Homo-oligomer: A and B are copies of this chain.
Amino acid sequence: MALLLEHIVVRYRGSAAAGGDLDAVREVSMGLAAGEIGVLVGPSGCGKTSLLRAVAGLEPLAGGRIRLAGETVSDPAAGLHRPAEQRRVGMVFQDYALFPHLDVAANVAFGLHALGRAERAKRVQEMLSLVGLPEVAGKMPHQLSGGQQQRVALARALAPAPRLLLLDEAFSALDVELRERLAHEVRAILKASGTAALVVTHDQMEAFALADRLGVMQAGRLEQWDRPYDLYHRPATRFVADFIGHGVLAPARIVGTPQGPRVDTPLGLLADADECPLPEAYPGGECLVLLRADDIEHDDAAPVRARILRRDFRGAEFLYTLALADGLEVLAHVPSHHDHAPGEWIGIRPRVEHVVTFPR
């Protein structure tokens, strides 16, 4: 394991006036193999940054243990805390933290003090090219745009080839195109060098694209730590189901049919779903079922009809917020050539591949 967290706790001491102590990270455990990229998502203030800082060695642990490449680096029980500068961990901060007194090249070269002058210059150029800024080497940080600063910070963190890379919303100030390109290239670099990375992002697309392992945090806890596909299709908790993608949890009942158990939803029986639980799983079969926006198809011929409450243009498609006759709201992705106005009634049909249910 390149990185192993065991029940780590990060606590901020606070005055009673400010609400007392706060456990920003609670008993989080997870592992990352060499070359793997882990991604953390979660609502604002859920403790992502705090977790990264603990891994970097910038916050002391209040409990648990952190192991980097087999070596224990934080273990408050044993009084162990390897200082940040000895962990060989690279980090890009949410606020970049470029050194204002150094130009871009010197910022990037900062971690390369072991290298010779020529080699260092070469590496700096290499990194700056990687982040698409080969020409700004001589500028000062304050002369750069937000996105450019972020990229310089990334180049600086990558330059010394750390054994673990921590990225805290490192692409947030970049446009989609650049962000995808960078994510790809960083991914390639990490894979080639077998470097593990732990990435925080708010962009779920990016999370899915980048992650070997994806985690969802909430209020300091890691709710699920899984492969992206599984996390999307088999969310472990209601929170994860709700947080990932667009969807609603609709009341449903599991019924036995000759073909096996089926889920009876306000949109009708889910026919071709895998992995349907048995009716006995819930009292009376009553449960909640996850209906994602892309599980619902627009089909004028469908028996179930819904009224359009809101329509959000999203480029390739519209996101419709729909109300069934009984008032239940559902979401649906509809290609953008189906252009219906709010207020209209349209036919919809569920098309759920993976049934995800929770107790009511």
Contacts and interface: CB of A to CB of B under 8 A. Distances in A.
A177 interface: yes
Contacts of A261: none
Given A18-B143, A146-B94, A203-B203, A175 B42 contact: yes
Question: Quick one: copies of this chain in the complex?
Answer: 2
B316 A294 contact: yes
A197 interface: no
A292 B178 CA distance: 18
Contacts of A123: none
A299 interface: no
A265 interface: no
Interface string A4-17: 00000000101001
B335 A316 contact: no
A176 interface: yes
B43 A315 contact: no
Given A43-B147, A146-B169, 8 more contacts: A19-B138, A45-B144, A50-B145, A204-B315, A209-B312, A209-B314, A209-B319, A232-B315
Interface of A: 12, 14, 17-19, 41-45, 48-50, 94-95, 135, 138-140, 143-148, 150-151, 168-169, 172-179, 202-205, 208-209, 228-229, 232-233, 242-245, 292-294, 312-317, 319, 333, 335-337, 353
